[in-house]
């Protein structure tokens, strides 16, 4: 971090900030030019809040040199993180597809989708038991009963389960029964929940917030990892833009950007990113070509009857077809 000092500042005016920085173990390097004076800081600057530095009247601006995400960043952890759930790997060259319904609706629905996505090559089963819905008057998930149905589907198919936690009330149940805990876009900055989930030290699928930057996402991952978790999967699921022809705008460039900045695996959710099932395949192929580590795709046996997100859910045959094409893209990349 570099502090640019306003012209005309006297040396004694800098004393309080010097004392404060030294007390926090920071080494100060002064850079004095003809018209500009700067204070370079070396050491663990993550303990310094730029908000408090900017309060000093002589500070013109602060230039950040290091990234504030030390655990999620690649700098101190150059090797790719590989998430391994009962031998099913994601990241570090292991491409994996997570598929299943938006929400768990019934035993028959989740079991039949689980069987079909497994047959098509998915290695994890997704399904929401607790659903974050914009309207309080629509289906909000089966709750704990939904979790039981996911467990039954895992028992039959062997697919590890990925499902979203909405509230800390269910931390114990998720710790006991869920293989990968999803934190949804709407909770990406629920810092208390991030920390509590991180403390469970289980794999986490962290979705990018609706209006969050890549750095916001990495800082959210940092909160989870500061709690103790190591295996965080970053998920780009589309962001809000002025474009209305799709539900969200898929930020595909987030894939190489995240992979450059972080060692964590990156998956793309073409379902929530686009909102339309016809767009799920082309965006899955594009995401694969862009180098993501996996995909998370909504699949429903009868999308028109789905209780949530039917318009963006592909049918099992569509999913199987898409998987064949994804494999072709992957082969072409090798």
184 interface partner picked from Mn ion, ligand PEP, none, CB below 5 to 8 A per type: ligand PEP
- Measured from the CB atom, the residue of 37 and 247 that comes closer to ligand PEP is 247
Look at residues 314, 300, 330 and name the one whose alpha carbon lies nearest to residue 128: 300
Residue nearest Mn ion, Cβ-based: 102
Nearest Cα to Cα of residue 219 among 322, 117, 101, 71: 71
> Applying CB under 5 A, which part among 48-56, 288-296, 306-314, 321-329 lies near Mn ion?
306-314
3-state secondary structure of 58: coil
Q: Is 309 an interacting residue with respect to Mn ion (CB under 5 A)?
A: yes
User: What minimum distance in Å lies between the beta carbon of 319 and ligand PEP?
Assistant: 16
Q: How many residues bind ligand PEP (CB under 6 A)?
A: 10
Q: 228 with 263: CB under 8 angstroms?
A: no
In the complex with ligand PEP, the residue whose CB is nearer, 154 or 272, is 272
- Region label for 257, one of left (φ > 0), alpha (ψ between -120 and 50) or beta (otherwise): alpha
* Phi, psi dihedrals of residue 160, rounded to the nearest 5°: -65, 150
**Nearest distance in Å: CB 202, ligand PEP:** 18
Size (the chain), residues:
334
207 binds ligand PEP (CB under 6 A): yes
Under the criterion CB under 6 A, does residue 209 sit at the interface with ligand PEP? no
How far apart, in whole angstroms, are the C-alpha atoms of residue 230 and residue 53?
Answer: 31
* Tokens 């539900």 -> residue: 247
Binding segment toward ligand PEP, per CB under 6 A, in 34-42, 73-81, 183-191, 276-284: 183-191
CA 178 to chain centre: 17
Alpha-carbon span 162 to 168, nearest angstrom: 17
Residue 118 engages ligand PEP in binding (rule: CB under 6 A): no
**Residue 184 within binding range of ligand PEP, rule CB under 6 A:** yes
Interface with ligand PEP by CB under 6 A: which range of 68-76, 91-99, 184-192, 193-201? 184-192
Is-contact 285 270, C-beta < 8 A? no
Task: Name the site residues for Mn ion (rule: CB under 5 A).
Answer: 102, 309
Task: Name the site residues for ligand PEP (rule: CB under 6 A).
Answer: 102, 128, 132, 184-186, 207, 237, 269, 272
């Amino acid at each position: 971090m570099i502090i640019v000092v306003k012209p005309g500042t006297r040396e004694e005016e800098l004393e309080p900030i010097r004392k404060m920085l030294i007390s926090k173990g920071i080494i100060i390097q002064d850079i004095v030019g003809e018209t500009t004076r700067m204070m370079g800081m070396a050491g663990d600057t993550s303990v310094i809040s730029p908000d408090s530095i900017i309060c000093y009247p002589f500070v013109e601006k602060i230039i950040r040199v290091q990234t504030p995400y030390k655990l999620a960043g690649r700098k101190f952890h150059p090797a790719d993180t590989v998430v391994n759930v009962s031998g099913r790997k994601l990241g570090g060259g292991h491409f994996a597809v997570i598929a299943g319904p938006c929400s768990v609706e019934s035993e028959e629905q989740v079991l039949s989708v689980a069987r079909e996505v497994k047959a098509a090559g998915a290695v994890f089963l997704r399904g929401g038991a607790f659903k974050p819905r914009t309207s309080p008057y629509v289906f909000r998930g089966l709750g704990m009963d939904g979790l039981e149905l996911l467990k039954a589907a895992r028992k039959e198919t062997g697919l590890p389960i990925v499902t979203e936690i909405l509230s800390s009330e269910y931390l114990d149940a998720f710790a006991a029964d869920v293989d990968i805990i999803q934190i949804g876009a709407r909770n990406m900055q629920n810092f208390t929940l991030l920390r509590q989930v991180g403390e469970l030290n289980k794999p986490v699928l962290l979705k990018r917030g609706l209006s969050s930057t890549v750095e916001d996402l990495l800082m959210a991952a940092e909160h989870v990892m500061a709690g103790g978790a190591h295996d965080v999967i970053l998920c780009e699921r589309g962001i809000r833009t002025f474009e209305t022809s799709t539900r969200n705008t898929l930020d595909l460039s987030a894939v190489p950007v995240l992979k450059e900045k972080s060692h964590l695996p990156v998956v793309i959710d073409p379902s929530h990113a686009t909102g339309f099932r016809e767009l799920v395949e082309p965006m899955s192929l594009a995401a694969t070509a862009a180098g993501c580590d996996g995909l998370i795709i909504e699949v429903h046996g009868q999308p028109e009857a789905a209780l949530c997100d039917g318009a963006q859910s592909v049918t099992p045959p569509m999913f199987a077809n898409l998987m064949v094409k994804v494999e072709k893209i992957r082969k072409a990349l090798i």
